[in-house]
Amino acid sequence: MSSRITPAEHLKEVQNSFDDSMNPRLVEVLRAAVKHLHAFTAEVGLTHKEWFAGIDFLTQTGKMCDEVRQEFILLSDTLGVSMLLEMINYAASDGATEPTVFGPFHVDGAPNRKDGESIIDQIFPTDSPLAFSGTVNDLNGKPIAGASLDVWQVQSNGLYDVQQGASQRNLRGVFKTNADGSFTINTVRPIDYTIPDDGPVGKMLRASGRHQWRPAHIHMVVSADGFIPVITHLFDQASKYLDSDAVFGVRDSLIVDMSNGHCNYDFVLDSTRE
Ligand code: BEZ
Ligand code: FE
């Protein structure tokens, strides 16, 4: 007499199908992926109609991607996965500057700038000047000379330069700290802005009653020889979106006062370990 296969037995059969692979990590990842996918499907009692709506959503997400637009990363950001990856993969000790999302608007090869130089290459009538200074130190408070700060930020029209054309460059620069670990960057005060919302991710946000705003911030990658680089932002404490960032990137330790035309922040890097 034949008995019906249960969902648990079905899952085992699918998981075991990967076992002939020569790549143990791939097997581990795929076994866990199908375990959670099957559990999700059963937990919500997914209907055929919903499954096909999900497939259509992912198809549209793929169609939205090109060299400059990566809708899948935007999906990962808005579902909190990008931030979770930072949390589980960033190996620095407590006391080091906290990381946050990288975002899609970094450009390799930003101009090298001298200490105190302005990163403003294009002026907008809405610009409000900001002098951003601080230091880069190790965990013992010792200044790191020659540390690199690669900074980029949104313009005061709410767009990154690259959103206006691939060859546009504004509000970017790579700075090196002085012998005492200090730096000064002249820029404009960042503003709150919306993530690209004209694709499936925007639809998902609207359908779920979420907004598409990011609180005003300046991006930076801070690095130095022998130290773990940190990808992070500084957020303007005046923003009204600090508690509802569309990509869940805000950390209390990264919020600074940008009023009165200046802000200050001391970055801390952890040294690399063997
Ligand atoms: C950004 O801060 O530039 C950003 C981060 C995640 C998604 C979209 C934009
Ligand atoms: Fe940004």
Q: Give per-residue pLDDT as tens, 12-53.
A: 999 999 999 999 999 999 999 999 999 999 999 999 999 999
Q: Where are the domains of the chain?
A: 7-63, 71-269
CA distance 168 to 165: 6
Report the nearest-CA residue for atom 6 of ligand 1: 103
In a mutational test of the pocket of ligand 1, which residue from 154, 161, 235, 247 has the highest number of ligand atoms less than 8 Å from its CB? Answer: 247
Of 249, 241, 216, nearest to 82 (Cα)? 249
In a mutational test of the pocket of ligand 1, which residue from 64, 195, 218, 236 has the highest number of ligand atoms less than 8 Å from its CB? Answer: 195
Ligand 1 shell residues, CB under 6 Å: 74, 77, 101, 103-105, 195, 214, 247
Q: Which atom of ligand 1 is least distant from the CA of 82?
A: 6
Say which CATH architecture domain 71-269 belongs to: Sandwich (2.60)
Buried b (16+ CB within 10 A) or exposed e, 18-33: beeeeeeeebeebbee
- How many angstroms is it from 147 CA to the middle of ligand 2? 22
Instruction: Report the run of H or E that residue 274 belongs to, with start and end.
Output: none
Q: Which neighbouring-strand residues pair with 219?
A: 152, 233
Long-range pairs of 127-130 with CB within 8 A, sequence gap ≥ 24: 127/156, 127/188, 128/156, 128/188, 128/189, 128/261, 129/186, 129/187, 129/188, 129/189, 129/261, 130/186, 130/187, 130/188, 130/189, 130/190, 130/258, 130/261, 130/262, 130/263
The amino acid occupying position 136 is V
Nearest ligand to the C-alpha atom of residue 100? 1
Q: Which atom of ligand 1 is least distant from the CA of 219?
A: 2
Instruction: Select the more confidently predicted residue: 91 or 201.
Output: 201
Confidence of residue 273 (pLDDT cuts 50, 70, 90): confident
What is the pLDDT at residue 93?
Answer: 87
Confidence of residue 92 (pLDDT cuts 50, 70, 90): confident
Neighbours of ion ligand 2 (CB under 5 A): 103
Report the nearest-CA residue for atom 2 of ligand 1: 103
215-227 pLDDT tens trace: 999 999 999 999 9
pTM of this structure: 0.93
**2 has a pLDDT exceeding 80:** no
Q: Report the pLDDT averaged over residues 243-254.
A: 97
